[in-house]
Structures are given as structure tokens and as C-alpha cells.
Amino acid sequence: SQQGEEDPQALSIQEGENATMNCSYKTSINNLQWYRQNSGRGLVHLILIRSNEREKHSGRLRVTLDTSKKSSSLLITASRAADTASYFCATAPTDSWGKLQFGAGTQVVVTP
Amino acid sequence: KAGVTQTPRYLIKTRGQQVTLSCSPISGHRSVSWYQQTPGQGLQFLFEYFSETQRNKGNFPGRFSGRQFSNSRSEMNVSTLELGDSALYLCASNTGTGVDEQFFGPGTRLTVL
């Protein structure tokens, strides 16, 4: 079963616009991670935010985490066509090692 | 540092056959996790191996098994293949000593006919 629910399922924007996607989860977590996947290939790690952090930045990415609401958001600023991909949130439960629970993903299309 | 490698990249099998997939983690990583990705179920955790021992297991039938060797390379085996086993199988490696990011391989695309 999947831990996270992501919203929206799909997002279509133009280059230069910002893209925001949300993730909700159910159990206690050690951290929450965001991954990107291009066309059925392997996953690329984007950013990790620990349960005691509220916000984190990496380049054009900004992630927030609200453990009281069990939710997270990923913001991609100034989108580029190369950002077209599926984005997944994944939670690392407090009681498991090496086991990530993924959401269903948000498919993002950035048109030039 | 070389990334995670998976072999083969593509595989076609028929129902009832068995298959073995291989994963070589990043040098120095001792944890290897396996995931199945399908359009219907998404990404699901299969199992994780650390230092040749299965440390975590997902909710998959016993037809799915794995092992890890002393050099941390891991294999996953699926016996008596079913049509529903068609999927992208991803492995990921991690140092295994902390709950941190996992580095994924390109995956093995298995098609069961």
C-alpha cells in the first residue's frame, strides 16, 4: 500500500512559471524525500527534509513539511522544459530502515 | 563513483517461468532495497538487504525472494511468473547506517507474456 497521497495528479505549466505539488502521509516519519522520474526510468533524489525541519531549499526547489498535518509541499520555481517528469514524495517510517513508502506521484509537463 | 547498476535492463518471459534480476550498489553501500513499479499500484517496496541479511520486507507473496552477497551485490528472484508481475523493478542503494536518501538504478523492465 502507498503511504502518501499526492495532489495534483497532473500539472501542466509554461516555462518560467512555478509548480507546486503536495503530499500527505499517514504514519510517523523519520524524514520525507522527493524524487523525480523521467519516462519510466530510475528515480533521481531531489531533496530530503527531516521530521524536525520545517523548510528546506535546494536551488530552484523549496520543500516544506508540516508534521502536525502530515503533509509536505514541493515548489519548483521558474520551471524549465527539462523539469518535465513525474515527481514522487517518499516517507521513511520511524520503525523501518531502507524502506521508503511512495506516493502516487504528480506528473508535471512544462511547455516552452 | 559509479552509480547503481541493474542487469538486465529489459526482459521478456512467459507465464510460469522464473527470473533473476541483479543489482550492484554504489561502492561502499551496504544496503540494497528493491521496489516494483506498475501503473496500477505505483511504487511498492519489496525488500531490503543489509550485510547479507533481509532487514525489511514488503507485502509480496513468497514467489518474490532476494539475497545479498558479501560484496553487497543483490539479486531478486521471481518464480512462477504471472502476467501481473510485468513491471519496472528498481533497486536502490544506501549506506544502510542512517535513514537517508536512496540512490536508484535505471531499473529492469520485465514483461510477462
pLDDT of A25-63, one tens digit each?
998 888 999 999 998 788 999 999 999 999 999 999 999
- Tell me, what DSSP letter sits at residue A65? E
Chain A neighbors of B101, CB-CB under 8 A: 33, 45, 48
pLDDT higher than threshold 60 for residue A2: no
Distance CA A26, CA A28 (A): 7
Chain A neighbors of B48, CB-CB under 8 A: 97-99
Higher pLDDT, A1 or A109: A109
Q: What is the pLDDT of residues B54-74, one digit of tens each?
A: 999 999 999 999 999 999 999
Residue in B42, B56, B103 closest to A96 by CB: B56
User: Sorting pLDDT into bands at 50, 70 and 90, what band is A97?
Assistant: low
Q: What are phi and psi of A19, to 5 degrees?
A: -120, 130
Distance CA B36, CA B91 (A): 9
Question: Would you call A97 and B92 a contact, using CB atoms and an 8 Å cutoff?
Answer: no
Whether the CB-CB separation of B81 and B17 falls below 8 Å is answered with yes
Q: In sequence order, what are the beta bridge partners of A31?
A: A50, A92
pLDDT higher than threshold 70 for residue A93: yes
Whether the CB-CB separation of B37 and B47 falls below 8 Å is answered with no
- Tell me, what DSSP letter sits at residue B39? T
